[in-house]
Amino acid sequence: MKKPKVRELKEAVKGIFSKPYTTEFPYKPHTPSARYRGRPMYNKDVCVGCGACSQVCPAKAIDMFDSFEDGVPVRHLSQHPARCIFCGECERNCITKEGIKLTQQFDIAFFDEKDTVDEVQHNLVVCRSCGEVIGTEKHLRWVSKRIGNLSFAQPLLLTQLMEELQIKTEYEEKVVPPIQRTDMLKVVCPKCRRVALISDEKKGK
C-alpha cells in the first residue's frame, strides 16, 4: 500500500481541527464575505434616472422606458435579478456612484419574477413644442449643481431652476407652431431650438 505523504497528513490533521469552508445555510443564517456581489438595488434618494445603468448592463437586466399616462411624463427603471449576472457594471458606471449598488443579498429564489424586481420612477422634462424627452427633472438638477453658476447660461437649466424656485414665467404654456425666436426659452430639444433660430434668420432675409 502506498503511504500518505507528509503534506497530505498535515492537511488531514489540520482539517479535523479547523472550521469547515461550507456553512449550514439554510438551517443557519449565512453572512457572505464583504466583497460578495449580490442582488443590485436602487437607492431611490440618490438615483437621478439618467439611464446609464440600463445602457451599460451586458445582460439587459435593467429595463428603461418612458410613459405618458394621463399626460404625465415618467421614466421607469427596473432591475431584474433573474437576468442579472452580478457583474457590477451598473454600480461602476452610475453617474452618482450611489444610485444602484450590489448588495449582500444572495437568497433571491422566487415563484413569481415580479416579486424580485426593484423599480424606481422619475418625472421627465419634455420639450414644450414637440414633446421630445430631454431627461429627468432630478438629472437636470444634478447637472445644475455640478456646473454651478454656469447653469444660468443654459436656457434649459435656467428654466428648471426657475421652476424649482416657483418663479412663474411666460414660458410655461405649450408652444404653438410655427416656432418663433421668442420661444427660445420654451423649446428645449436641440431640433426645435434649431427651427426657432432658422425661422428667425429667414425672417431677416
Minimum CB distance to ligand SF4, residue 57 (Å): 3
Q: Is the CB of residue 90 less than 8 Å from the CB of residue 47?
A: no
Helices 137-147 and 155-164, packing angle to 10 deg: 110
List C-alpha distances in Å: 94 to 38, 44, 66, 91, 144.
17, 13, 19, 5, 18
Minimum CB distance to ligand SF4, residue 193 (Å): 25
When the beta carbons of 40 and 73 are compared against ligand SF4, the nearer one is 40
When the beta carbons of 146 and 194 are compared against ligand SF4, the nearer one is 146
When the beta carbons of 51 and 160 are compared against ligand SF4, the nearer one is 51
When the beta carbons of 47 and 175 are compared against ligand SF4, the nearer one is 47
DSSP states of 63-108 as a string? Answer: EEEEE-GGG--EEEEEE-TTT-----HHHHH-TTSSSEEE-S----
Residues of the shown chain interacting with ligand SF4 in the complex, contacts defined by CB under 6 A: 40, 42, 47-53, 57, 59, 61-62, 77, 79, 84-90, 94-96, 99-100
Minimum CB distance to ligand SF4, residue 185 (Å): 27
